[in-house]
Amino acid sequence: MTNRCLLAVTALALMGCEPTPDRLPDPPNPGAYWVERSDAELSAVLGESCSRATAASKPVLVAFSAPWCIDCRQMRALEEQPLLAEELANWEKVVVHVGRLDLHPALLNRFSVGAIAHWVALRPEECSAAVTEWPVLRASTFEPQTGWFGVKTSSGLRDWLVEARK
């Protein structure tokens, strides 16, 4: 997270407020998208995703996200766009709810997650290996709403994913 964003989130948290932009609608079924999991639960989900991915010869997309994050909410909305939704069908996707960047610190550290929304494209070869050992195809932070990092459109995200699959 950029210093400016981190300071804003910290200030809002200290005031008891959550950053919720007026111009972004609530995402469809946020409870199903941003599921808080323990490390053990997340490990099980990643293992199941690995099994499905390797059986279907698909890569795994790990999306580090949180419902309070403006850019994460925008990324969620972009995922509904047809171009990106079509490409996401080629992936096994796991959303990692990071809380206030205080959940799953080992994964955050391993994948150098300093800001969200952050995607890591992986190609698991052995599901008995920890996700931290899976080969990384690509990783990037995207901030389509604030515009501080990376790609800002569904077609740009699709292109990023297509390049990662090559």
- Domain assignment of residue 25, yes or no: no
- Domain assignment of residue 1, yes or no: no
Residue reference for tokens 């090559």: 166
- Domain assignment of residue 88, yes or no: yes
Is the distance from CB of 53 to CB of 60 less than 8 angstroms? yes
CATH code of residue 97: 3.40.30.10
- Domain assignment of residue 7, yes or no: no
How far apart (Å, rounded) are the C-alpha atoms in residues 53 and 77? Answer: 24
DSSP letter, residue 132: G
Domain that holds residue 89: 31-165
Per-residue pLDDT tens, the chain, 166 aa: give them. 443 344 334 333 333 333 433 444 454 454 588 999 999 999 999 999 999 999 999 999 999 999 999 999 999 999 999 999 999 999 999 999 999 999 999 999 999 999 999 999 999 999 999 999 999 999 999 988 777 766 778 999 999 999 999 9
- Domain assignment of residue 9, yes or no: no
- Domain assignment of residue 16, yes or no: no
Nearest to 60 by CA among 45, 50, 47: 50
- Domain assignment of residue 150, yes or no: yes
- Domain assignment of residue 157, yes or no: yes
User: Structural domain tally of the chain?
Assistant: 1
Residue reference for tokens 């796991």: 94
